[in-house]
Structure 1
């Protein structure tokens, strides 16, 4: 089973090397595709050291569109997605492959702050938002799987329409809820990932967590995020 990992990136020179090294050091051989959103720093140069392919957008169109662009070029049976400021755990690829081989159409795992950015408060908040709350959405039948650490069986990803490009937030959650219709998704604790907390800190921890919880509730109940902008004018792309 071949796994392709798509990494959207924009001005991530500080983090992307570490992200890609963690993917290269996995037990399984992965196809790594970086989609650069018109970076103005050394992101592209660093990506070329590690990735099998680096695709360049002429202008940034958001993470959903970048992930779809990478998926269109990927050759794997499994399409995995990791953000450029995220470092996957050592057993990550095994968890992905064994979950999909076990019949899951998609899989995600715990998300934690990078060790150097961690604090007792952040650890609690991440465990609450990215594990406890995610597990609750699984129990409710509306699984929320975040795009910074997720993998899908190719057919389920395509059948669900890929990442919606007409929304500015929660495109990843909308996709996972679509894939879950008639398919089984899985939360695997071995598929842990460590991500930068810089954006959460810049928004303000309390404000960011309040938004995340409120938005999660709204998406679960209505299928639409707090900031919904309607369908894209672009046609839905198709995979080969």
Structure 2
């Protein structure tokens, strides 16, 4: 098999209920481009790793936090994404969460958009299902984040060029890891949003995702840009 152009990196812990739909949506990409799938298993207690292998994904093990707690963070989702990136072979890394489903044209659309607009990384508009407040986050992602000076690229739907990913340090093991990564990446590299809805994700973790917790801060920082056209 030729080297993959894109590596899908999927962090998953106890995701046996959601993971099959995610992996099926990746498997069913309508593309002639080579791609691979890397699932980072967070030491699941369910059949998550077995399901990943059933879909021919490479499985990377992420250990549980040490008993002493260390810095109190343990290996979180930022660490999981970074472990997957280090295992991946693709020129592009597509980070997709285990409760996210991508459209069949996702790979072609995202790579074509990033290349065509000379971006090092991109997200896209999304549809978020779940609690009512998920729609507020959906609107923020689709309409506010793309207009930030350094757009926030949600970790559940993010394509980034391999060299730019590692040059920027990758996803850190901190709360709001996708925001921290996006802001650091945006210091040196151009990033943006595909205007179409290319991913559907669950809103079950809205309160913990880091998107709402940092919204006010970054909207305030970029308010001049956001209001420049009015």
* Same fold, judged at TM 0.5 (above): yes
Cα pair 2:150 2:191 within 8 Å, conserved: no
The aligned residue for residue 147 of structure 2 is 136
Q: C-alpha separation between the residues in 2 aligned to 1:214 and 1:39?
A: 27
Q: Does 1:68 align with 2:74?
A: no
Q: Does 1:111 align with 2:126?
A: yes
Alignment of 1:174-185 (within 5 A): 174-185=180-191
Q: C-alpha separation between the residues in 1 aligned to 2:60 and 2:195?
A: 31
Pick closer, same or farther for the CA change 1:10–1:84 going to 2, 3 Å: same
Cα pair 2:134 2:203 within 8 Å, conserved: no
The aligned residue for residue 113 of structure 2 is 99
* Deviating more after overlay: 127-136 vs 13-22: 127-136
How many residues are matched? 206
Shift of 1:112: 1.3
Shift of 1:126: 3.9
Shift of 1:157: 0.7
CA RMSD of aligned residues (A): 2.4
User: What per-residue deviation string (whole Å, max 9, x for no partner) do you get for residues 73-97 of structure 1?
Assistant: 1110001100001101122101221
> Can you give the 5+ residue segments of structure 1 that lack an aligned partner in the other structure?
223-240
More strand per residue: 2
Q: C-alpha separation between the residues in 2 aligned to 1:143 and 1:122?
A: 21
TM-score, L = length of structure 1: 0.78
Q: C-alpha separation between the residues in 1 aligned to 2:211 and 2:78?
A: 18
Shift of 1:220: 6.0
Cα pair 2:137 2:211 within 8 Å, conserved: no
Q: C-alpha separation between the residues in 2 aligned to 1:190 and 1:220?
A: 22
User: What per-residue deviation string (whole Å, max 9, x for no partner) do you get for residues 156-199 of structure 1?
Assistant: 1111011112x1x2111111112212321120033621111223
Pick closer, same or farther for the CA change 1:212–1:104 going to 2, 3 Å: closer
Pick closer, same or farther for the CA change 1:75–1:186 going to 2, 3 Å: same
Classify the secondary structure of the residue corresponding to 1:12: coil
Shift of 1:142: 2.1
Among candidates 160, 168, 172, match of residue 160 of structure 1: 168
The aligned residue for residue 48 of structure 1 is 53
Classify the secondary structure of the residue corresponding to 1:112: strand
Classify the secondary structure of the residue corresponding to 1:19: helix
> Can you give the 5+ residue segments of structure 2 that lack an aligned partner in the other structure?
66-74, 222-230
Q: Does 1:171 align with 2:177?
A: yes
* Deviating more after overlay: 13-22 vs 59-68: 59-68
The aligned residue for residue 72 of structure 2 is none
Among candidates 17, 32, 45, match of residue 20 of structure 2: 17
* Deviating more after overlay: 62-71 vs 92-101: 92-101
* Deviating more after overlay: 144-153 vs 21-30: 21-30
TM-score, L = length of structure 2: 0.81
